[in-house]
Amino acid sequence: MSGTRQDSRIPIRFGEPRPRYIRPMVVSWGDSERKLTGAVSVLQGADLGMYPSGNSLVVNGRSESIIIDPSVTVVAKGGAPVPIDAVLNSHAHEDHLPGNGLFTDARVHIHHDDLMGAHSLDGLLDVYGLEGTPRSDFAKTILEEFNYMPRPDAKGFSDGDVFDLGGVTVEAVHLPGHTRGHSGFRVSGGVFFLSDIDLTGFGPYYGDVWSDLEQFEESLIKIRDEEADFYVTFHHKGIIEGRDTFVTMLDKFHSVIGRRHNAMLEFLIEPRSVADMVEHRFIYRPHVEHVFADSVERRSAEMHIARMLTRDEASEVEPGRFQRS
């Protein structure tokens, strides 16, 4: 059973179906295509959807077909198993947008709060909050490795908007925290696309200027009530069958936030600065080298410190230095 629908919403119809015999980029995925229902398939990314790839979802209706988060593997293969009329982006991160530059004749939809990331490269970089050399270096990576193409024609959607493809519907479920516009998708027939609530051992990622720790936890609490036969993550875990397994994995994923928080509190047994916390590394392992690693550590530490101050768990003992209470 799929989750509760907001039936008062007016379905969004993409328009009249186009002649499918003239549509390009229809390719066989073989064993890499996992059929979940008669209308829904998962296109499994390289290395089980490990970054920089991911697991894309195709929903094929009587009127039109969509692809959700077309990955770098979709680009490498040159297309999808069916003609694609529209692309849905769960949010504005580089690994979820590659197919926006492949399916150039398809419409693009993304949550209103992340629309800027689909519209332009500068808008996407602003989502991360990178500046200076890290910004320019990552811009080059986005263009060269992720097939990024600005889509100024992209349109925004809101929580609860329903895309009616003919015989199957896709409902947007706003799950902010990872980014402001991060969304899942509830597909009729018992499929839920979790996007980057990816249930990995790494835990929740909330290290961008567009991220919010409090919102992420609220989204994790919200999604726990979702009922589906299949839950699909963009990275790693891929297809999860059954609600009991999903809830167990979700709770373990959620618990990483508490472990990070406690580790930071322990570190603050002595007065420390945010710079000290960045150097210590609480999100990435010390050996990990990435252009935005320090930015992620800084943003995450700042949000946890804000939580500590609100809870009276720590105080600012001198300007810019914090200690556990």
Same domain, residue pair 252 and 275: no
| Nearest C-alpha neighbor of 181 from the set 123, 251, 249 | 123
pLDDT mean across residues, the chain:
92
Query: Lowest-pLDDT range, 12-21, 83-92, 215-224, 281-290?
Result: 12-21
The total domain count for the chain is: 2
> pLDDT category, 172, cuts 50, 70, 90?
very high
Confidence (pLDDT) at 8: 31
**pLDDT reported for residue 292:** 83
Residue 234 scores a pLDDT above 80: yes
Q: Do 189 and 2 form a contact (C-beta atoms < 8 A)?
A: yes
- For the chain, the distance separating the N- and C-terminal CA atoms, rounded to the nearest angstrom, is 47
Please check whether residues 287 and 185 belong to one and the same domain: no
pLDDT of residue 10: 38
**Would you say residue 165 lies in a domain?**
yes
pLDDT mean over 89-96:
98
Look up residue 63 and give its two tokens.
Answer: 């009127």
Q: Report pLDDT for 2.
A: 31
> Residues 119-127: what's their mean pLDDT?
97
Quick one: 25 and 151 in the same domain? yes
Look at residue 272 in the predicted model and tell me its pLDDT.
Answer: 98
- Overall average pLDDT of the 9-25 stretch: 42
Same domain? For 55 and 199 the reply is yes
Question: What's the domain range around 292?
Answer: 268-324
The CATH number of whichever domain residue 29 belongs to comes to 3.60.15.10
* Residues 283 and 307 occupy one common structural domain: yes
Examine the fold and report which residue of 199, 223, 256 is the final residue of a domain before the chain moves on: 256
- State how far the Cα of 91 lies from the Cα of 195, in Å rounded to an integer: 8
Q: Is the pLDDT at 12 greater than 70, yes or no?
A: no
